[in-house]
Amino acid sequence: MQFRTISNGTTSFEVSTLCLGTMFFGTRTDTRTSLEILDRFADAGGTFVDTANNYNAWVGGHGRDSEDVLGAWIRRRGGLGDVRLATKLGAAKKDPALPLQNVEPTNFQGLSAEVVAREARLSLQHLGVERIDVLYGHVDDRETPIAETVAAFGQLQREGLVGISGISNVALWRLIEARDEALRQGVDPYGVVQQGYSYVYPSPGFGRTNDVSVELLDYVAAAGTDGRPPLTITAYSPLHQGAFARDDKPMWAPMRHASNRERVRALHDVAAEIGATPNQVALSWLLGAEVPVIPVVGISSVAQLEEALAASELVLDADVRARLDAADLDVRAAVAA
């Protein structure tokens, strides 16, 4: 397992370059299997685990199911050891009687000071820990003033309840404003941003602010120097729930375009040639990028975990990376013409 340091300029710690996503732990992935996955991940040197306070709510759970599984695992092993925990708040149901959805009306709790303070403490209880290493705002909240949200995360950090704060599903300009506001308030800025990111990319669309963009990569590359606080990208859905390897798993609608069909074809060709799987090639492409990110890999079996662990040691030759990067150039040129 490889490692890297994440930091907000004040607090820093090392994490594994693969982050274990636990979205369906305790529901679709039963507790016994979930604990086996966690044990194997830690045994392999994995030290970064990701959850949220609303996972499983749409598949028959109560929302904190995966936090509860993690809490049981932590108790069983007598503490976290070297493992760093990340969880999220703000996207649980505001009204329990209404559906949870990412289109209007969204029904998210939001990132008011009251929600941030309350939900962080509830996560601490469910996880059974005294501090959350990384706490994200799960979705940006444009109805709450940025200053209020930033101050709320800053207060949790001052109290020692949170190590590094972060934000997810956010427009770049909002991320920059929040980090600038933190500096104005004298609190630690967001040190991690979690966005959707993979070898394939979505069609352009107004209002799509939850994906890694070229501009975000450039901003992150410039962070950590000349007085700019460091910033790390964690990437969710790096494998699109198995769509790279399974014909019966279609990608999300914004991903279903000609360029991505060429890129998926290239993934399969390269994988066959180097003796890897398409998923492993896709993860290695992210890990070895010019601006590296930390993939958050959703795992539902030990076999899936073993595949991902092998990807963490796979290094793509420069010519292979160039070939993958250029896989859709003909399609893009035809569209431009």
User: DSSP 3-state assignment of 45?
Assistant: coil
Phi, psi of 96 (to 5 degrees): -60, -20
- Average pLDDT of every residue of the chain: 93
Name the percent of the chain lying above pLDDT 70: 97
Give the CA diameter of the chain.
62
pLDDT band at 333 (very low <50, low <70, confident <90, very high): low
Whether 274 shows a pLDDT value over 60: the answer reads yes
The predicted structure's pLDDT at residue 196: 97
| Full set of structural domains in the chain with CATH | 12-252+276-314 (3.20.20.100)
Pairwise CA distance, residues 1 & 249, whole Å: 29
Q: Are strands 3-7 and 12-16 parallel, antiparallel or unpaired?
A: antiparallel
Name the percent of the chain lying above pLDDT 90: 81
The predicted structure's pLDDT at residue 107: 84
The predicted structure's pLDDT at residue 330: 66
Task: Look at 58-62, 83-87, 148-152, 193-197 and tell me which has the smallest mean pLDDT.
Answer: 58-62
Residue 279 CB neighbours (<10 A): 23
- Joined together, the tokens standing for residue 309 give 């662990």
The predicted structure's pLDDT at residue 61: 72
pLDDT band at 332 (very low <50, low <70, confident <90, very high): low
Helices and strands: H and E segment counts in the chain: 11, 10
Pairwise CA distance, residues 12 & 6, whole Å: 6
The predicted structure's pLDDT at residue 337: 45
The model carries a pTM of 0.95
CB contact at 8 A, 109 and 139 = no
Q: What is the pLDDT of residues 38-85, one digit of tens each?
A: 999 999 999 999 999 998 776 677 779 999 999 999 999 999 999 999
The predicted structure's pLDDT at residue 331: 67
Cβ neighbours of residue 75 under 8 Å, at least 6 residues apart? 128
The predicted structure's pLDDT at residue 336: 53
pLDDT band at 37 (very low <50, low <70, confident <90, very high): very high
Whether 328 shows a pLDDT value over 70: the answer reads yes
